[in-house]
Structure 1
Protein backbone atom coordinates (compact mmCIF):
# COMPACT_ATOMS: atom_id res chain seq x y z
CA UNK A 1 0.00 0.00 0.00
CA UNK A 2 2.83 2.39 0.88
CA UNK A 3 4.59 1.53 -2.39
CA UNK A 4 1.44 2.37 -4.40
CA UNK A 5 1.00 5.63 -2.50
CA UNK A 6 4.61 6.61 -3.23
CA UNK A 7 4.13 5.74 -6.91
CA UNK A 8 0.97 7.86 -7.06
CA UNK A 9 2.78 10.83 -5.53
CA UNK A 10 5.66 10.41 -7.99
CA UNK A 11 3.26 10.25 -10.96
CA UNK A 12 1.40 13.32 -9.76
CA UNK A 13 4.69 15.21 -9.40
CA UNK A 14 5.60 14.24 -12.96
CA UNK A 15 2.22 15.38 -14.33
CA UNK A 16 2.52 18.65 -12.41
CA UNK A 17 5.86 19.54 -13.96
CA UNK A 18 5.33 23.02 -15.36
CA UNK A 19 7.89 22.91 -18.15
CA UNK A 20 9.56 20.25 -20.30
CA UNK A 21 13.25 21.01 -20.89
CA UNK A 22 15.79 19.02 -22.84
CA UNK A 23 19.04 19.23 -24.80
CA UNK A 24 19.28 18.47 -28.50
CA UNK A 25 21.70 18.66 -31.40
CA UNK A 26 21.02 19.74 -34.97
CA UNK A 27 23.47 20.02 -37.85
CA UNK A 28 26.41 19.82 -35.46
CA UNK A 29 25.10 22.56 -33.14
CA UNK A 30 24.02 22.03 -29.54
CA UNK A 31 20.92 23.58 -27.99
CA UNK A 32 18.86 23.55 -24.79
CA UNK A 33 15.12 24.17 -24.98
CA UNK A 34 12.11 24.43 -22.73
CA UNK A 35 8.54 23.90 -23.94
CA UNK A 36 5.61 25.61 -22.21
CA UNK A 37 1.86 25.08 -22.59
CA UNK A 38 0.59 28.68 -22.11
CA UNK A 39 -3.00 27.65 -21.39
CA UNK A 40 -1.87 25.47 -18.49
CA UNK A 41 1.10 27.30 -16.99
CA UNK A 42 1.73 30.65 -15.28
CA UNK A 43 3.91 32.18 -18.01
CA UNK A 44 4.97 35.76 -17.20
CA UNK A 45 7.39 38.56 -17.96
CA UNK A 46 9.53 40.13 -15.22
CA UNK A 47 11.38 43.44 -15.21
CA UNK A 48 11.12 45.33 -11.92
CA UNK A 49 10.61 44.36 -8.29
CA UNK A 50 8.19 45.96 -5.85
CA UNK A 51 10.58 48.86 -5.29
CA UNK A 52 10.81 49.58 -9.01
CA UNK A 53 14.33 48.19 -9.39
CA UNK A 54 15.17 45.79 -12.23
CA UNK A 55 15.40 42.19 -11.06
CA UNK A 56 18.45 41.60 -13.21
CA UNK A 57 18.94 37.97 -12.16
CA UNK A 58 16.94 34.76 -11.96
CA UNK A 59 17.78 34.52 -8.25
CA UNK A 60 16.26 37.92 -7.49
CA UNK A 61 13.01 36.83 -9.12
CA UNK A 62 12.94 33.60 -7.12
CA UNK A 63 13.59 35.52 -3.90
CA UNK A 64 10.59 37.75 -4.65
CA UNK A 65 8.13 34.85 -4.98
CA UNK A 66 5.95 33.97 -2.01
CA UNK A 67 3.78 31.06 -0.82
CA UNK A 68 6.36 28.45 -1.78
CA UNK A 69 6.31 29.37 -5.48
CA UNK A 70 9.39 28.81 -7.62
CA UNK A 71 10.68 29.50 -11.11
CA UNK A 72 10.51 26.27 -13.10
CA UNK A 73 12.01 28.01 -16.14
CA UNK A 74 13.30 31.48 -17.10
CA UNK A 75 15.20 33.19 -19.92
CA UNK A 76 16.21 36.71 -20.92
CA UNK A 77 13.39 38.03 -23.12
CA UNK A 78 14.37 41.02 -25.22
CA UNK A 79 16.95 43.72 -25.77
CA UNK A 80 17.46 46.56 -23.31
CA UNK A 81 19.35 49.77 -22.63
CA UNK A 82 22.28 50.00 -20.16
CA UNK A 83 19.83 50.92 -17.37
CA UNK A 84 17.87 47.78 -18.35
CA UNK A 85 14.88 49.63 -19.80
CA UNK A 86 13.38 47.63 -22.70
CA UNK A 87 14.42 48.83 -26.15
CA UNK A 88 11.02 48.02 -27.66
CA UNK A 89 7.41 47.47 -26.68
CA UNK A 90 7.02 46.04 -23.19
CA UNK A 91 3.89 45.13 -21.23
CA UNK A 92 3.83 43.40 -17.86
CA UNK A 93 0.61 42.34 -16.14
CA UNK A 94 -1.33 44.62 -18.50
CA UNK A 95 0.79 47.69 -17.77
CA UNK A 96 2.72 49.17 -20.69
CA UNK A 97 6.24 50.41 -19.96
CA UNK A 98 7.43 51.00 -23.53
CA UNK A 99 5.50 51.72 -26.73
CA UNK A 100 5.70 49.72 -29.94
CA UNK A 101 8.53 50.67 -32.34
CA UNK A 102 7.78 50.07 -36.01
CA UNK A 103 10.71 51.70 -37.85
CA UNK A 104 14.10 50.39 -38.88
CA UNK A 105 17.07 51.09 -36.62
CA UNK A 106 20.65 50.01 -35.99
CA UNK A 107 21.56 46.60 -34.69
CA UNK A 108 19.68 43.33 -34.65
CA UNK A 109 16.56 44.85 -33.10
CA UNK A 110 16.06 47.07 -36.16
CA UNK A 111 16.77 44.34 -38.72
CA UNK A 112 13.21 44.35 -40.05
CA UNK A 113 10.98 42.54 -39.80
CA UNK A 114 11.20 42.31 -36.02
CA UNK A 115 8.44 41.10 -33.75
CA UNK A 116 6.59 40.86 -30.46
CA UNK A 117 6.20 37.94 -28.07
CA UNK A 118 2.67 38.13 -26.61
CA UNK A 119 1.23 36.16 -23.69
CA UNK A 120 -2.57 36.24 -23.61
CA UNK A 121 -5.06 34.67 -21.22
CA UNK A 122 -4.74 31.14 -22.59
CA UNK A 123 -2.17 31.31 -25.40
CA UNK A 124 1.20 32.72 -26.43
CA UNK A 125 2.12 34.04 -29.88
CA UNK A 126 4.96 35.62 -31.80
CA UNK A 127 3.75 38.43 -34.08
CA UNK A 128 5.63 40.30 -36.77
CA UNK A 129 5.60 43.93 -35.57
CA UNK A 130 3.42 45.44 -38.31
CA UNK A 131 0.96 42.56 -37.95
CA UNK A 132 0.93 43.20 -34.21
CA UNK A 133 0.20 46.90 -34.81
CA UNK A 134 -2.63 46.08 -37.22
CA UNK A 135 -4.35 43.38 -35.15
CA UNK A 136 -3.66 44.80 -31.66
CA UNK A 137 -3.92 41.47 -29.81
CA UNK A 138 -4.81 41.44 -26.14
CA UNK A 139 -1.50 40.73 -24.37
CA UNK A 140 -1.23 40.37 -20.62
CA UNK A 141 2.54 40.35 -21.16
CA UNK A 142 4.46 41.47 -24.26
CA UNK A 143 8.09 41.99 -25.24
CA UNK A 144 9.34 43.34 -28.57
CA UNK A 145 12.66 42.16 -29.95
CA UNK A 146 14.28 41.41 -33.26
CA UNK A 147 14.87 40.22 -35.77
CA UNK A 148 12.14 37.70 -36.46
CA UNK A 149 13.63 34.27 -37.09
CA UNK A 150 10.63 32.63 -38.77
CA UNK A 151 7.70 34.53 -40.30
CA UNK A 152 4.64 32.42 -41.17
CA UNK A 153 6.88 29.43 -41.88
CA UNK A 154 9.55 31.33 -43.85
CA UNK A 155 13.03 32.32 -42.71
CA UNK A 156 13.87 36.00 -42.29
CA UNK A 157 14.81 37.22 -45.81
CA UNK A 158 18.07 38.82 -44.66
CA UNK A 159 19.60 35.62 -43.23
CA UNK A 160 22.48 34.15 -45.26
CA UNK A 161 23.21 30.39 -45.33
CA UNK A 162 26.95 31.09 -45.61
CA UNK A 163 27.14 33.81 -42.95
CA UNK A 164 30.22 33.83 -40.72
CA UNK A 165 28.57 35.84 -37.93
CA UNK A 166 28.14 33.45 -35.03
CA UNK A 167 27.02 34.00 -31.43
CA UNK A 168 25.38 32.22 -28.54
CA UNK A 169 21.73 33.03 -29.35
CA UNK A 170 18.32 32.60 -27.72
CA UNK A 171 14.73 33.07 -28.79
CA UNK A 172 11.15 31.76 -28.76
CA UNK A 173 8.91 30.06 -31.28
CA UNK A 174 5.14 29.54 -31.31
CA UNK A 175 2.55 27.78 -33.47
CA UNK A 176 -0.54 29.28 -35.10
CA UNK A 177 -2.82 27.83 -32.41
CA UNK A 178 -0.87 29.58 -29.64
CA UNK A 179 -0.82 26.45 -27.47
CA UNK A 180 2.90 25.79 -27.50
CA UNK A 181 5.82 28.12 -26.82
CA UNK A 182 9.36 26.78 -27.29
CA UNK A 183 12.25 28.73 -25.74
CA UNK A 184 15.70 27.86 -27.08
CA UNK A 185 19.30 28.80 -26.30
CA UNK A 186 22.29 27.63 -28.31
CA UNK A 187 25.13 26.04 -26.37
CA UNK A 188 27.69 26.97 -29.00
CA UNK A 189 27.91 29.93 -31.35
CA UNK A 190 25.51 29.69 -34.30
CA UNK A 191 24.46 31.83 -37.26
CA UNK A 192 21.01 33.37 -37.56
CA UNK A 193 20.28 31.06 -40.48
CA UNK A 194 21.12 27.90 -38.53
CA UNK A 195 19.19 29.11 -35.47
CA UNK A 196 16.10 29.95 -37.53
CA UNK A 197 16.18 26.59 -39.34
CA UNK A 198 16.03 24.83 -35.98
CA UNK A 199 12.74 26.60 -35.18
CA UNK A 200 11.28 26.02 -38.64
CA UNK A 201 12.49 22.55 -39.57
CA UNK A 202 12.95 20.74 -36.26
CA UNK A 203 10.63 22.44 -33.77
CA UNK A 204 8.10 23.26 -36.50
CA UNK A 205 7.08 26.60 -35.04
CA UNK A 206 5.16 28.88 -37.40
CA UNK A 207 6.74 32.06 -36.06
CA UNK A 208 9.90 32.60 -34.05
CA UNK A 209 11.60 35.64 -32.53
CA UNK A 210 15.21 36.33 -31.59
CA UNK A 211 15.74 37.57 -28.03
CA UNK A 212 19.49 38.29 -27.87
CA UNK A 213 22.96 37.04 -28.62
CA UNK A 214 25.40 38.53 -26.12
CA UNK A 215 23.79 37.95 -22.75
CA UNK A 216 21.69 34.86 -23.58
CA UNK A 217 20.98 32.85 -20.43
CA UNK A 218 18.72 30.04 -19.26
CA UNK A 219 17.31 28.97 -15.91
CA UNK A 220 16.20 25.33 -16.13
CA UNK A 221 16.35 23.44 -12.82
CA UNK A 222 15.44 20.13 -14.50
CA UNK A 223 18.62 20.48 -16.55
CA UNK A 224 20.54 21.46 -13.39
CA UNK A 225 21.21 24.83 -14.99
CA UNK A 226 20.86 28.47 -13.93
CA UNK A 227 23.22 30.72 -15.89
CA UNK A 228 24.87 33.71 -14.20
CA UNK A 229 26.37 36.82 -15.78
CA UNK A 230 25.66 40.49 -16.44
CA UNK A 231 22.31 41.79 -15.07
CA UNK A 232 19.43 41.31 -17.52
CA UNK A 233 16.50 43.47 -18.57
CA UNK A 234 13.20 41.72 -19.47
CA UNK A 235 12.97 38.10 -18.34
CA UNK A 236 10.33 35.50 -19.23
CA UNK A 237 9.56 32.68 -16.87
CA UNK A 238 7.07 30.15 -15.52
CA UNK A 239 6.01 30.28 -11.88
CA UNK A 240 4.77 27.09 -10.23
Structure 2
Protein backbone atom coordinates (compact mmCIF):
# COMPACT_ATOMS: atom_id res chain seq x y z
CA UNK A 1 0.00 0.00 0.00
CA UNK A 2 1.37 3.39 -0.96
CA UNK A 3 2.18 5.82 1.85
CA UNK A 4 -0.05 8.87 2.11
CA UNK A 5 1.65 12.19 2.68
CA UNK A 6 0.15 14.35 5.43
CA UNK A 7 0.97 18.01 5.67
CA UNK A 8 2.34 18.96 9.15
CA UNK A 9 -0.26 21.72 9.47
CA UNK A 10 -3.13 19.34 8.72
CA UNK A 11 -1.82 16.81 11.23
CA UNK A 12 -1.55 19.49 13.93
CA UNK A 13 -5.09 20.68 13.19
CA UNK A 14 -6.40 17.13 13.46
CA UNK A 15 -4.66 16.61 16.79
CA UNK A 16 -6.02 19.87 18.17
CA UNK A 17 -9.54 18.98 16.99
CA UNK A 18 -9.30 15.64 18.78
CA UNK A 19 -8.41 17.43 22.02
CA UNK A 20 -11.34 19.83 21.88
CA UNK A 21 -14.27 19.06 24.21
CA UNK A 22 -17.16 17.52 22.35
CA UNK A 23 -20.66 18.43 23.44
CA UNK A 24 -22.21 15.12 24.45
CA UNK A 25 -25.81 14.35 23.63
CA UNK A 26 -27.43 15.34 26.91
CA UNK A 27 -30.43 13.03 26.60
CA UNK A 28 -30.97 9.88 24.56
CA UNK A 29 -34.60 9.87 23.36
CA UNK A 30 -35.96 7.01 21.29
CA UNK A 31 -39.19 5.29 20.35
CA UNK A 32 -39.50 1.72 21.57
CA UNK A 33 -42.03 -1.10 21.67
CA UNK A 34 -42.63 -3.37 24.65
CA UNK A 35 -45.27 -6.06 25.02
CA UNK A 36 -47.41 -4.80 22.13
CA UNK A 37 -47.37 -1.17 23.32
CA UNK A 38 -45.42 1.80 22.00
CA UNK A 39 -43.46 4.25 24.12
CA UNK A 40 -41.02 7.13 23.89
CA UNK A 41 -38.20 6.88 26.42
CA UNK A 42 -35.62 9.53 27.25
CA UNK A 43 -32.54 8.52 29.23
CA UNK A 44 -30.47 10.98 31.27
CA UNK A 45 -27.06 10.46 32.87
CA UNK A 46 -27.59 12.18 36.21
CA UNK A 47 -23.86 12.42 36.84
CA UNK A 48 -23.16 14.28 33.60
CA UNK A 49 -26.26 16.33 32.81
CA UNK A 50 -28.10 19.19 34.51
CA UNK A 51 -31.47 17.77 35.52
CA UNK A 52 -33.78 20.13 37.41
CA UNK A 53 -37.35 21.27 38.06
CA UNK A 54 -39.22 24.40 37.01
CA UNK A 55 -42.56 25.67 38.30
CA UNK A 56 -42.93 29.49 38.26
CA UNK A 57 -41.45 32.20 36.09
CA UNK A 58 -39.66 35.25 37.64
CA UNK A 59 -43.03 36.99 38.05
CA UNK A 60 -44.43 34.09 40.05
CA UNK A 61 -46.74 32.68 37.37
CA UNK A 62 -46.45 28.98 36.43
CA UNK A 63 -44.49 28.38 33.24
CA UNK A 64 -47.36 26.23 32.03
CA UNK A 65 -45.98 25.40 28.58
CA UNK A 66 -42.66 24.13 27.27
CA UNK A 67 -42.39 26.94 24.69
CA UNK A 68 -42.53 29.68 27.35
CA UNK A 69 -39.74 28.02 29.33
CA UNK A 70 -37.71 27.39 26.19
CA UNK A 71 -37.92 31.05 25.11
CA UNK A 72 -36.84 32.29 28.54
CA UNK A 73 -33.90 29.89 28.64
CA UNK A 74 -32.73 30.90 25.17
CA UNK A 75 -32.59 34.53 26.33
CA UNK A 76 -30.11 33.34 28.97
CA UNK A 77 -27.99 31.34 26.53
CA UNK A 78 -29.46 27.99 27.51
CA UNK A 79 -31.12 25.23 25.50
CA UNK A 80 -34.08 23.22 26.73
CA UNK A 81 -32.71 19.81 25.78
CA UNK A 82 -35.53 17.75 27.27
CA UNK A 83 -38.63 18.37 29.38
CA UNK A 84 -41.64 16.50 30.75
CA UNK A 85 -44.51 17.23 33.12
CA UNK A 86 -43.34 16.31 36.60
CA UNK A 87 -46.09 15.51 39.06
CA UNK A 88 -49.66 16.29 39.94
CA UNK A 89 -50.95 19.75 40.76
CA UNK A 90 -54.03 21.69 41.85
CA UNK A 91 -56.19 23.89 39.61
CA UNK A 92 -53.86 26.84 40.28
CA UNK A 93 -50.97 24.51 39.19
CA UNK A 94 -49.47 24.42 42.69
CA UNK A 95 -47.94 21.00 43.45
CA UNK A 96 -50.15 18.49 45.28
CA UNK A 97 -47.21 17.01 47.20
CA UNK A 98 -43.60 17.66 48.15
CA UNK A 99 -41.87 20.16 45.91
CA UNK A 100 -38.35 21.59 46.14
CA UNK A 101 -36.73 23.85 43.55
CA UNK A 102 -33.12 25.03 43.87
CA UNK A 103 -33.11 23.90 47.50
CA UNK A 104 -36.23 25.90 48.46
CA UNK A 105 -39.21 23.87 49.70
CA UNK A 106 -42.52 25.07 48.24
CA UNK A 107 -44.71 22.22 49.50
CA UNK A 108 -44.29 19.69 52.32
CA UNK A 109 -44.31 15.90 51.98
CA UNK A 110 -47.82 14.42 51.94
CA UNK A 111 -47.55 10.93 53.54
CA UNK A 112 -51.21 10.02 53.93
CA UNK A 113 -53.55 8.08 51.62
CA UNK A 114 -56.11 10.12 49.73
CA UNK A 115 -58.27 10.29 46.62
CA UNK A 116 -57.02 9.75 43.08
CA UNK A 117 -53.78 8.30 41.82
CA UNK A 118 -51.61 10.50 44.04
CA UNK A 119 -53.15 9.02 47.19
CA UNK A 120 -52.91 5.41 46.03
CA UNK A 121 -50.11 4.49 48.44
CA UNK A 122 -47.30 3.78 48.19
CA UNK A 123 -46.46 6.93 46.26
CA UNK A 124 -43.01 8.43 45.89
CA UNK A 125 -40.61 11.30 45.38
CA UNK A 126 -38.19 12.07 42.57
CA UNK A 127 -35.10 13.41 44.40
CA UNK A 128 -32.53 15.21 42.24
CA UNK A 129 -29.10 15.71 43.79
CA UNK A 130 -25.84 17.01 42.37
CA UNK A 131 -24.50 13.73 40.99
CA UNK A 132 -27.43 11.32 41.30
CA UNK A 133 -31.20 11.15 41.02
CA UNK A 134 -33.47 8.67 42.76
CA UNK A 135 -37.09 7.64 42.86
CA UNK A 136 -37.77 7.00 46.57
CA UNK A 137 -40.95 5.61 48.13
CA UNK A 138 -42.44 8.33 50.37
CA UNK A 139 -42.25 6.50 53.71
CA UNK A 140 -38.66 5.51 52.97
CA UNK A 141 -37.93 9.13 52.06
CA UNK A 142 -39.28 10.32 55.43
CA UNK A 143 -37.07 7.81 57.22
CA UNK A 144 -33.92 8.68 55.30
CA UNK A 145 -34.53 12.43 54.80
CA UNK A 146 -32.07 12.85 51.90
CA UNK A 147 -31.18 16.39 50.88
CA UNK A 148 -32.61 17.07 47.40
CA UNK A 149 -31.60 20.04 45.28
CA UNK A 150 -34.89 19.52 43.41
CA UNK A 151 -37.75 17.19 44.36
CA UNK A 152 -41.30 16.40 43.29
CA UNK A 153 -43.81 14.01 44.81
CA UNK A 154 -46.29 12.02 42.73
CA UNK A 155 -48.08 8.73 42.77
CA UNK A 156 -48.56 5.95 42.71
CA UNK A 157 -45.18 4.27 42.67
CA UNK A 158 -44.97 1.97 39.65
CA UNK A 159 -42.09 -0.20 40.84
CA UNK A 160 -40.79 -0.49 44.42
CA UNK A 161 -37.53 -2.41 44.88
CA UNK A 162 -38.24 -4.51 41.76
CA UNK A 163 -41.84 -5.24 42.77
CA UNK A 164 -44.90 -3.84 41.00
CA UNK A 165 -47.30 -1.71 43.01
CA UNK A 166 -49.53 -4.20 44.91
CA UNK A 167 -52.76 -2.57 43.71
CA UNK A 168 -52.05 -2.97 40.00
CA UNK A 169 -54.20 -5.60 38.26
CA UNK A 170 -53.00 -7.56 35.20
CA UNK A 171 -56.55 -7.59 33.78
CA UNK A 172 -57.34 -3.89 34.41
CA UNK A 173 -59.40 -2.12 31.75
CA UNK A 174 -58.34 1.40 32.83
CA UNK A 175 -56.24 2.65 29.93
CA UNK A 176 -54.69 6.08 29.46
CA UNK A 177 -51.68 7.77 27.94
CA UNK A 178 -49.27 7.73 30.91
CA UNK A 179 -45.84 9.08 31.76
CA UNK A 180 -43.36 8.28 34.52
CA UNK A 181 -39.72 8.05 35.57
CA UNK A 182 -37.46 5.27 36.81
CA UNK A 183 -33.97 5.25 38.32
CA UNK A 184 -31.11 2.78 38.72
CA UNK A 185 -29.62 1.60 42.01
CA UNK A 186 -26.59 3.88 41.64
CA UNK A 187 -28.78 6.89 40.87
CA UNK A 188 -26.98 7.64 37.63
CA UNK A 189 -29.44 6.27 35.07
CA UNK A 190 -32.70 8.24 34.96
CA UNK A 191 -35.26 7.12 32.38
CA UNK A 192 -38.42 9.03 31.55
CA UNK A 193 -41.14 7.30 29.54
CA UNK A 194 -44.43 8.31 27.95
CA UNK A 195 -46.77 5.87 26.25
CA UNK A 196 -47.76 6.40 22.63
CA UNK A 197 -50.94 4.37 23.04
CA UNK A 198 -53.18 3.91 26.05
CA UNK A 199 -51.83 1.48 28.66
CA UNK A 200 -52.82 0.14 32.08
CA UNK A 201 -50.79 0.78 35.21
CA UNK A 202 -49.70 -2.86 35.20
CA UNK A 203 -48.41 -2.64 31.62
CA UNK A 204 -46.67 0.67 32.27
CA UNK A 205 -44.97 -0.61 35.41
CA UNK A 206 -43.70 -3.70 33.57
CA UNK A 207 -42.06 -1.43 31.00
CA UNK A 208 -39.87 0.04 33.75
CA UNK A 209 -39.14 -3.18 35.63
CA UNK A 210 -38.94 -5.76 32.85
CA UNK A 211 -38.21 -3.65 29.79
CA UNK A 212 -35.94 -0.92 31.14
CA UNK A 213 -34.57 -2.99 34.09
CA UNK A 214 -35.11 -0.26 36.67
CA UNK A 215 -35.80 -1.20 40.32
CA UNK A 216 -37.81 1.92 41.22
CA UNK A 217 -40.23 3.93 39.12
CA UNK A 218 -42.83 6.62 39.73
CA UNK A 219 -46.01 7.57 37.88
CA UNK A 220 -46.08 11.26 36.95
CA UNK A 221 -49.49 11.72 35.30
CA UNK A 222 -52.04 10.44 32.84
CA UNK A 223 -54.35 13.29 31.86
CA UNK A 224 -51.41 15.69 31.42
CA UNK A 225 -48.67 13.54 29.89
CA UNK A 226 -46.46 15.65 27.68
CA UNK A 227 -42.93 15.57 26.32
CA UNK A 228 -40.46 18.07 24.89
CA UNK A 229 -37.83 16.15 22.90
CA UNK A 230 -36.18 18.24 20.14
CA UNK A 231 -34.12 15.17 19.26
CA UNK A 232 -37.37 13.61 17.98
CA UNK A 233 -38.81 16.90 16.66
CA UNK A 234 -41.47 16.70 19.36
CA UNK A 235 -42.80 19.36 21.73
CA UNK A 236 -46.32 18.65 23.00
CA UNK A 237 -48.92 21.36 23.51
CA UNK A 238 -52.11 21.15 25.57
CA UNK A 239 -53.43 21.93 29.02
CA UNK A 240 -51.11 24.14 31.05
CA UNK A 241 -48.79 22.19 33.34
CA UNK A 242 -47.60 22.56 36.92
CA UNK A 243 -44.10 21.24 37.71
CA UNK A 244 -41.77 20.56 34.77
CA UNK A 245 -38.65 18.40 34.91
CA UNK A 246 -35.99 19.34 32.39
CA UNK A 247 -32.43 19.05 31.19
CA UNK A 248 -30.77 22.31 30.19
CA UNK A 249 -27.41 22.93 28.53
CA UNK A 250 -25.42 25.92 27.25
CA UNK A 251 -26.72 26.93 23.82
CA UNK A 252 -24.58 25.61 21.03
TM-score (norm 1): 0.95
Query: Residue 39 in 1 paired to residue 40 in 2?
Result: no
Structure 2 match to 1:155: 164
User: Aligned ranges for residues 206-221 of structure 1 at < 5 Å?
Assistant: 206-221=215-230
| Alpha-carbon distance, 1:68 to partner | 2.2
C-alpha distance in 2 between matches for 1:67 and 1:185: 29
3-state SS of 2:51 partner: strand
User: Aligned ranges for residues 35-114 of structure 1 at < 5 Å?
Assistant: 35-65=43-73, 66-114=75-123
**For the structure 1 residues 13 and 70, does the alpha-carbon distance in structure 2 shift closer, same or farther, using more than 3 Å as the test?**
farther
3-state SS of 1:70 partner: strand
C-alpha distance in 1 between matches for 2:97 and 2:17: 44
Structure 1 match to 2:201: 192
Q: What 5-or-longer segments of structure 1 have no aligned partner?
A: none
C-alpha distance in 2 between matches for 1:166 and 1:9: 51
Structure 1 match to 2:5: none
Of the three residues 11, 14, 21, the one matched with 2:29 is 21
**Partner deviation per Cα, 1:46-92 (whole Å, 9 max, x = no partner):** 00010110000001111111442111100000000010000000000
C-alpha distance in 1 between matches for 2:124 and 2:29: 24
| Larger radius of gyration between Structure 1 and Structure 2 | 2
Query: Residue 146 in 1 paired to residue 163 in 2?
Result: no
Structure 1 match to 2:141: 132
C-alpha distance in 2 between matches for 1:90 and 1:62: 21
C-alpha distance in 2 between matches for 1:213 and 1:152: 23
**For the structure 1 residues 9 and 167, does the alpha-carbon distance in structure 2 shift closer, same or farther, using more than 3 Å as the test?**
farther
CA RMSD of aligned residues (A): 2.2
**For the structure 1 residues 213 and 39, does the alpha-carbon distance in structure 2 shift closer, same or farther, using more than 3 Å as the test?**
same
C-alpha distance in 2 between matches for 1:35 and 1:9: 28
| Alpha-carbon distance, 1:121 to partner | 1.1
3-state SS of 1:237 partner: strand
C-alpha distance in 1 between matches for 2:171 and 2:108: 35
| Alpha-carbon distance, 1:41 to partner | 0.6
3-state SS of 1:233 partner: coil
